[in-house]
Amino acid sequence: MMGWAIAVQNHVTTWSKRLGSRDFWPKFVYHFTDLPNALSILESDKLCSRVEAQAQKLLKTDSACPAVIEGTDPDHTRYARLYFRPRTPTQYRNEGIRTRSQIWENAHCPMPVFFCFDTVEVLTMDGTELSNGNMGSPRVEHGAAIDMLSKIPFEYVFHDGGYSPEMRDLITFHRHAEILIPHSLTLLPSLKWIVCRSPAEQNTLLHLLPDAVRKKWQSKVRIDYRTLFERKWFYVNTVTTVGSDIEFRFNPDLKVDSSLIESFEAKLIYAESNGVRRTWKGQMQANKSHQRFAVEDARRGVVTLTLDGHIAFAGPVNFEDTPF
């Protein structure tokens, strides 16, 4: 198999040179999922197929379009599935905390977390298969990695930017080319990075992990400042304390209709370390860039912000020392 490993490394090297500022894309294969599922993956130490995740009750939220899943061959749901690239059409459809009118066919991934695995290590594992496009499509081809790699048109898989209407179907199909692992993929040794969209979301992920699990994985948790996320929809960027206020800085929704600015049902809970709780409920507009919440006589505690019931931030705040 040494020759196969060399072939995969040559694929990575060739496409890294061709992609310029996106040179890191071919070095990894990617799985992205919503925060509750990411927590479950890290606690279980493995990335499971849909069938196995459901059987073991590891699938906490379902970000997939029900119609797409219904039309997918049941055998295809027995693989743990990864992509060759970030920012797939699926991610465009479901990334971000979206207002109810923006959620496409119930496909929603409010706080996506990326798992980045080493391409060479995963493709050279026994049993790894590849597809040339979307596994939910009836025209997809898939098979052993060693047979399929040369058959996949990576000029379309790694295509970035706009395209003509005539090319739309071809490009979106191949952007969804997948890496298929029967049943499940153990995270180590091939998992290299766990990537969050912002400092606030990184804090949320780490805060919600059990202590032992956090200690195991925190060195791999990073914030993406490059090209993994779309960043077109609402999320929390930073959370700081200013005097007796908690200040949230948001990435405002870039897709919101300016003539009809929609809002979220927002709920903030501050739990002081001495057990005192303060709660705020109200509307929060999707194009908001920042907001402060006054918390009188607070010292240190945990704040949780939910928007339409989705966790937007959860983590500790300290009013006594330098904010995190």
DSSP secondary structure, 132-182, as one string: SS-TTSTT--EEEHHHHGGGS-HHHHT--S---GGGHHHHHHHHT-EEEEE
Beta carbons of 146 and 124 less than 8 angstroms apart: no
**HSE (CB half, 13 Å, CA atoms) of 138?**
2
CA distance 102 to 156: 27
Residue 321 pLDDT = 60
Residue 116 pLDDT = 98
CA distance 216 to 211: 9
Q: Which ranges of the chain have pLDDT less than 70?
A: 1, 53-74, 76, 256-260, 321-324
Note the pLDDT tens digit of each residue in 39-56: 999 999 999 997 776 655
Both structure tokens of 86:
């970030």
Domains along the chain with CATH numbers: 2-223 (no CATH), 235-318 (2.60.40.10)
CA distance 322 to 313: 19
Both structure tokens of 175:
């952007």
Residue 289 pLDDT = 94
pTM flag (> 0.75) = yes
